[in-house]
C-alpha cells in the first residue's frame, strides 16, 4: 500500500465515540466518562494518572493507593456514526448520565468538567 492510500484510509477511518467506565475494585469506585475518541481515551487517562496530574482527585488518590494493576478501562457503549454533530454533545451527556446511574458511579466523581 502506498503512502497516499494509507493517508486516505486514515482520513476515512471513523473513531468510535461513546461512554467508558474506569473501575478500581479495591477502592470500590467506578468513574464514567464520555469521549469522541474511545480508542485513545485510556492512554490519556493512564498517562495523567501515572504522572500524578489527573484532575479528578478521588481517582488520582485511588490510583496512588492501589496502583495501575487495580484499574480497568472498559467501553460500555459506542454511539452510531449517524448522530448529527450538533446532537453529539447532548447525546454523550445523556448516555453518560444513564451509565453513571446504571453502574452506580459516585455522582461527585466526574472525569471531565
Q: What is the pLDDT of residues 60-77, one digit of tens each?
A: 999 999 999 999 999 999
Q: Which three cell numbers stand for residue 62?
A: 485511588
Total number of domains constituting the chain: 1
In 3D, which of 31, 2, 33 has the Cα closest to residue 18? 33
Domain that holds residue 87: 15-102
CATH label of the domain that carries residue 60 = 3.40.1440.10
- pLDDT tens for residues 9-22? 766 677 899 999 99
E-strand ranges in the chain read: 18-24, 29-35, 71-78
Q: Give the residue, 14 or 33, on which the prediction is more confident.
A: 33
Give the cell for residue 7. 493517508
Look at residue 68 in the predicted model and tell me its pLDDT: 97
Instruction: Answer whether residue 22 is part of any domain.
Output: yes
Report the pLDDT value the prediction gives residue 62, as an integer from 0 to 100: 96
pTM across the whole model: 0.84
108 pLDDT above the threshold of 70 = no
Amino acid at each position: 500500500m502506498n503512502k497516499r492510500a494509507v493517508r486516505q484510509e486514515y482520513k476515512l477511518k471513523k473513531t468510535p465515540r461513546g461512554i467508558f467506565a474506569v473501575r478500581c475494585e479495591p477502592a470500590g469506585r467506578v468513574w464514567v466518562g464520555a469521549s469522541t475518541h474511545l480508542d485513545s481515551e485510556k492512554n490519556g487517562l493512564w498517562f495523567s494518572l501515572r504522572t500524578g496530574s489527573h484532575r479528578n482527585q478521588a481517582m488520582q488518590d485511588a490510583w496512588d493507593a492501589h496502583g495501575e494493576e487495580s484499574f480497568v478501562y472498559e467501553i460500555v457503549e459506542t454511539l452510531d456514526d449517524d448522530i448529527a454533530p450538533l446532537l453529539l454533545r447532548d447525546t454523550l451527556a445523556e448516555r453518560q448520565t444513564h451509565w453513571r446511574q446504571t453502574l452506580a458511579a459516585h455522582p461527585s466523581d466526574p472525569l471531565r468538567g
